[in-house]
Amino acid sequence: MKTCTTAITLALSTALPAAALAVDPTLDSWLQNLTNLRGRSTSATLNPALSQIPADVQQVRFNAANTYVNSTDIPHYNIGPWPSNPNTAQMQNVLVRIPRSPQVNTGAKTATGLGAIGVMVDGTQFFNASDGRSYQNRNVWHNDANVVEAVSFDSALGHPSPNNAYHYHQHPRSLRAEFGDDGSRHSPIIGFAFDGFPVYGPYGYANTNGTGGIVRMTPGYRLRNITQRTSLANGSSLTSANYGPAVGGAYPLGYFIEDYEFVAGSGTLNEQNGRFCVTPEYPNGTFAYFLTVNESNVGIYPYIVGPTYYGVVATDNVTRTVSVPGGVDRYYPCPADYNADGGVDGADVTAYFTDWEAAADRADVNYDGGVDGNDLAPFFAIWAAGGC
């Protein structure tokens, strides 16, 4: 039987690797709940139910091609209440597949559509800018949810759908605040779209090659110079039956998604609300979406992902038919702070050896399928370095 004394002796007699193993951001970016965190709310009405639901991401599994993420769609920070919204947030048993090597769609880009188009790193879902409704139900002038439904957003800027799925149409304010995403450094990965490309907060390097200071990313969309809604941004004229309401009053400019037009070069981002660039997690570059906010940290169109995806979409996410194949491995976050108390110290070593002696799956730090002496050197190397 393995003991701590034997394990420590073996670890100290084993040469430590020179550097921590490289980590794939599609594996390591998720907020996995390893400490039984629960949902919560400042609302005395909502908190009893939310506090029974495990929060954030429940597990991450992977093979060579894909990362599979399970979540409850309930975050660990306060959510609710949702004024003027009759729905509530309930556990959704989310399962998504994120391609580990996303591919650019070189043909016609795929529309984002209604419902979830990606997931935040805490496992909550995000939608596009539409609320699913259009003027006179003609499917021409589509409501911007961030205008029409903003009254129902909570302090985190999310709200529940008719099927009680908590989601975002714009930047997740509470999640970003926890990350300290304030422009003092490059934004972290906030989520992944269903084509596998990462979604960052609003701040990136000034230059796509990773040089320059930190700047706020700006969309290439702007409000059209119109007073009548008789044509679309591409210049096509509409029949009178498909006219929208005149601009003003109950329908100000920006009420509808079609009030915007894309002007190449007017911002730092393309039509999909991203760019190919170097980021801290992708030193060789990747296409990345960026959340868009103004100088006052207020979300601006198209908010997260543009009207279309940049890459090839994993359509089983859209149809909610993801299945996990055999032979996948479980991924655990960086083991340095093994007990997830926010510090790297001796308590993490004790917690690790408890799992190591029990041959718990999480103690398989080198991912060779077994828990043995070969896991000790990489664990101590990462622990001594204070992180991965």
The per-residue pLDDT for range 282-297, each reduced to its tens digit, is 999 999 999 999 999 9
Q: What is the pLDDT of residues 326-345, one digit of tens each?
A: 999 999 888 888 887 878 99
Q: Which two tokens stand for residue 219?
A: 């969309």
What's this model's pTM, rounded to 2 decimal places?
A: 0.89
pLDDT band at 13 (very low <50, low <70, confident <90, very high): very low
Q: Which two tokens stand for residue 264?
A: 């190449």
Distances (CA, A) of 81 to 43, 46, 58, 131, 351: 6, 7, 24, 19, 38
Q: Is the pLDDT of residue 22 over 70?
A: no
pLDDT band at 274 (very low <50, low <70, confident <90, very high): very high
Q: What is the pLDDT of residues 102-128, one digit of tens each?
A: 999 999 999 999 999 999 999 999 999
Q: CB neighbours (10 Å) of residue 290?
A: 28
Span 254-265, mean pLDDT?
97
Q: Are strands 158-160 and 329-331 parallel, antiparallel or unpaired?
A: unpaired
pLDDT band at 148 (very low <50, low <70, confident <90, very high): very high
Span 131-149, mean pLDDT?
97
pLDDT band at 6 (very low <50, low <70, confident <90, very high): very low
Q: Which two tokens stand for residue 318?
A: 């859209």
Q: Which residues pair with 143 in a beta bridge?
A: 256
Question: Which amino acid, 130?
Answer: S
pLDDT band at 9 (very low <50, low <70, confident <90, very high): very low
**To the nearest whole percent, how much of the chain has pLDDT over 70?**
94
Span 240-247, mean pLDDT?
98
Closest to 293 measured CA to CA, from 213, 189, 184, 173: 173
CA 133 to CA 148: how far, in whole Å? Answer: 10
- pLDDT of 367: 81
Distances (CA, A) of 297 to 101, 264, 307: 32, 23, 22
Q: Is the pLDDT of residue 21 over 70?
A: no
Q: Which two tokens stand for residue 102?
A: 């996303």
Q: What is the pLDDT of residues 186-224, one digit of tens each?
A: 999 999 999 999 999 999 999 999 999 999 999 999 999
pLDDT band at 101 (very low <50, low <70, confident <90, very high): very high
What is the DSSP secondary-structure string of 218-258? --SEEE---SS--B-TTS-B--GGG--PPSBTTB-TTSBGG
Closest to 383 measured CA to CA, from 347, 329, 330: 347
Q: Are strands 286-290 and 198-200 parallel, antiparallel or unpaired?
A: parallel
Torsion over CA: 23, 186, 117, 80 (sign) = positive
Given a contact cutoff of 8 angstroms between Cβ atoms, the answer to whether 166 and 79 are in contact is: yes
Q: Which residues 6+ apart lie within 8 Å of 85 measured at CB?
A: 149, 152, 159, 160
- pLDDT of 333: 83
- Across the chain, mean pLDDT equals 92
* Cα within 13 Å of Cα(238), Cβ side: 18
Using DSSP's 3-state secondary structure scheme, residue 367 falls into coil
Q: Which residues pair with 274 in a beta bridge?
A: 289
Q: CB neighbours (10 Å) of residue 113?
A: 16
* Cα within 13 Å of Cα(291), Cβ side: 32
Q: Exposure of 283 by Cβ count < 10 A (0-12 exposed, 13-18 middle, 19+ buried)?
A: exposed
Q: Is the pLDDT of residue 3 over 80?
A: no
